A and B are shown apart, each in its own frame.
Chain A
């Protein structure tokens, strides 16, 4: 099974940088994913890490350390529209199609203030 932990809420200022952490404990690991979900909308895929290190995608970057069971999502040059929930998700490993289950954390609600 998976146990995924991330802060419930964060607040940051427009134009600033914010880091959202995610720690996980898993019986099998095959990738860590970040999703963004605006209030009342569907989650949308942001990034994924399978190997250790930093993946950069425009203003968003995601980091993974498999040995520490740790990831973070870094958002730069914050904009008001970045106010949303950010969901960390871990993909199982194992054999059989059903093993590749994506388990979501409870999400971090980010509020960007002027």
Chain B
């Protein structure tokens, strides 16, 4: 069983489209995250949720909207996609917000043409 799973793994789309990435964890963790890894491999946090509540919201365009229907799920919706949104998006979870051991999903590679 995959601990943190995200879909889709690959996404190719045109500029201006709207797309979503879904994430689920079966570890019973309280905290989930979205990270963006750009072409230079820099891993940068976007959002964090603890028990469905938003606790970290970095400087991210408001075209990006996370949603956590329950503590096992954290989805990411992106409106009006731009070329610069092309990256690998990683979902992760941790037992609590203070835990430094994050468990990452396999990543979703988004390519905007």
Contact = CB atoms under 8 A, between A and B. Distances in A.
Interface residues of A, number: 26
Given A33-B101, A43-B43, A87-B43, 6 more contacts: A41-B106, A42-B104, A91-B100, A98-B48, A103-B45, A106-B41
B41 A107 contact: yes
Interface residues of B, number: 24
A3 to B, nearest CB: 13
A42 B90 contact: yes
B82 to A, nearest CB: 23
Contacts of B107: 41-42
Given A101-B56, A102-B45, A42 B105 contact: yes
Interface in B96-113: 97-107
A2 to B, nearest CB: 11
Interface in B65-113: 90, 97-107
A31 interface: yes
Nearest to A46: B101
Centre residue among B40, B41, B106 by max chain A CB count within 10 A: B41
A101 B45 contact: yes
12 contacts: A33-B100, A33-B101, A43-B102, A45-B103, A85-B41, A91-B100, A97-B31, A97-B50, A98-B48, A100-B97, A100-B99, A106-B42
